[in-house]
Amino acid sequence: MSSSGGTSSSFNTKAANWLGYSEKLEFLFNQSPANMAFEEFISCILEAAKENIPYHKSSFKFNPCPWWDEQCSRMVKLEEVFNEEISCG
């Protein structure tokens, strides 16, 4: 098992099954020798988390078109400032 987790999602710790997480860690740690390597340690933690802690739902992320550049970003920001000034009077 890779320690990277293979995802950019984050765990939703508010909805975690902490008892299941703790029991899974205890089981995994008891299966490994006392001098387990750091990678194995991280792997055990991630395995227990994946089984007992749901991920946050990912939010939509803006992916600009290939032609989108810094000038486009500046123009959007200027438009936002302009619209804000108009609405404030």
User: CA 79 to CA 77: how far, in whole Å?
Assistant: 5
Please state, in angstroms and as integers, the Cα–Cα distance from residue 85 to each residue in 39, 72, 75, 77, 78, following that order. Answer: 54, 20, 15, 12, 11
- Its pTM stands at 0.39
**Which residues have CB under 8 Å from 72's CB, separation 6+?**
64
| pLDDT band of 61, cuts 50, 70, 90 | low
The pLDDT value given to residue 7: 47
* Between 61 and 54, residue with greater pLDDT: 54
Sequence ranges of the domains in the chain: 13-63
The pLDDT value given to residue 17: 93
Please state, in angstroms and as integers, the Cα–Cα distance from residue 87 to each residue in 29, 76, 77, 82, 84, following that order. Answer: 60, 17, 15, 9, 5
Mean pLDDT rounded to a whole number for the chain: 79
User: CA 11 to CA 39: how far, in whole Å?
Assistant: 20
